[in-house]
Amino acid sequence: MRSIRPHIGIFGKTNSGKSSFLNKLTAQQVSIVSEVKGTTTDPVIKSMEMGDLGPVVFIDTAGIDDESGGGGGIGHKRVQASKEVLGRVDLAIILLCANTISSEEESLIKELNILETPFLFIHHKSDLQKISENFSQKLTESYHVPVYDFSSLTSSEAEIKNLISIMKSKIPEQALNNPSILSDLISYGESVLLVTPIDAEAPRGRIILPQVQTIRDILDNEGIIYMMKERELDNFWKRLSYDLRPKIVITDSQVFLKVASVIPPEISLTSFSILFARLKGDFERYIQGTKSIKQLKEHDNVLILESCSHHISGDDIGRVKIPRWLSNFTGKRLQFDVVSGLDTLTRPIHEYALVIQCGGCMLTRRQILNRLSLAIAANIPITNYGMAIAYAQGIFERAIHPFEKLLRPGIDLSEDYL
């Protein structure tokens, strides 16, 4: 199942031909090309189908050496916007010209290595100056990554096809082929019950993406689906014969208590958010971090990370419900900051006592892990929407139990409220 496309970022100095390169690679006029420096200002994002590579997202960035406007000016902001893209890509393409590599490019490589993001070099404008054997050898020996000579004017279809093949080989397998959501939880012909509230946050005329992806995954695994709103659950369960009971029940985290009160304890129960925490997040670290909720103190700061920007309803899950549930559970006055999408944090990461990440259906796994890396490096506990809600409502152990045999030995699933 392909849900989120791998992201490929194109980086280089001003007028290294990033936009020309992208246009040539995609055979489309994706980015504006001009001899004027700084034509590309904000990152340009383009979704494409690229032959053997499949569906991908290209991000064309501004020059990493843009100094227009002086320190702190517009050029500096463009550079910062380009660097922020680093945490979003599964592969970085670095354009070099005239057999030179600058301090800006070397600094970029250091950041990519910290993020453990794969990259490759394109020696661009080879129609003007081909790559030298010495320079190619230097790059290969220093960085152990592919170097490819390329011209946006003269490179052939065969050369483009070869480059796409090289790019595919560098993208992590998990980014190219998203793992199944439920293949290790259900077997052929088993049924799954999905409980999907339709509230003010649900998109009009549609259901939300995690539910759509879960439905498709169940069908891909030859499973059978029951699906209903929480209001129909009690009556449905009373009429359901024993031999037709589902293998697992998956609910929206917001109605955990309602669903848990109906579904008997011998039936596995979890939430969409927890499923996606396993698919895209640091699942075992989330489990351990969830238990730090009981240690929150008066006036602690809690960071809530949404993966998308959306219309905010009066009873929004991240901005209203989770803060209310955690405040009631801890009995403490807590300060909550909410950051949407991939926006910058409102305060330094070390000022937070806990980070709560949503399921992340709109982000890639790499984007989420990069997002959480600051907290992990600072020893700040991290958790997930579904896990935090289950813990605050006293059903954490049950919500995690379906995954018990899939975790490393020694992971403690007990709720540990004392």
Domains of the chain: 7-176 (3.40.50.300), 191-274 (3.40.50.11420), 285-406 (3.40.50.11410)
Q: Which two tokens stand for residue 144?
A: 């152990």
The contacts of residue 72 (CB under 8 Å, 6+ apart) are none
Distance separating alpha carbons of residues 133 and 125, to the nearest angstrom? 16
DSSP state of 331: T
DSSP state of 281: S
Distance separating alpha carbons of residues 400 and 414, to the nearest angstrom? 9
Q: Note the pTM of the prediction, 2 decimals.
A: 0.77
Give the DSSP H or E segment for 91: strand 91-96
* Contact in structure between 65 and 79 (CB atoms under 8 Å): yes
Distance separating alpha carbons of residues 273 and 285, to the nearest angstrom? 15
Q: Which two tokens stand for residue 187?
A: 């077997």
Distances (CA, A) of 183 to 203, 271, 363, 406: 28, 16, 21, 12
Distance separating alpha carbons of residues 99 and 112, to the nearest angstrom? 21
Q: What are the pLDDT tens digits along the chain (418 aa)?
A: 444 688 999 999 988 999 899 988 888 766 545 454 444 456 788 888 887 788 899 999 888 876 555 555 555 566 676 777 888 899 999 999 999 999 999 999 999 998 889 999 999 999 999 999 999 999 999 999 989 999 999 999 999 999 999 999 999 887 777 678 999 999 999 999 999 998 666 667 778 889 999 999 999 999 999 999 999 999 999 999 999 999 999 999 999 999 999 999 999 999 999 999 999 899 999 999 999 999 999 999 999 999 875 556 667 898 999 999 999 999 999 999 999 877 888 899 999 999 999 988 888 888 898 889 999 999 999 999 999 999 999 999 999 999 998 887 777 767 665 5
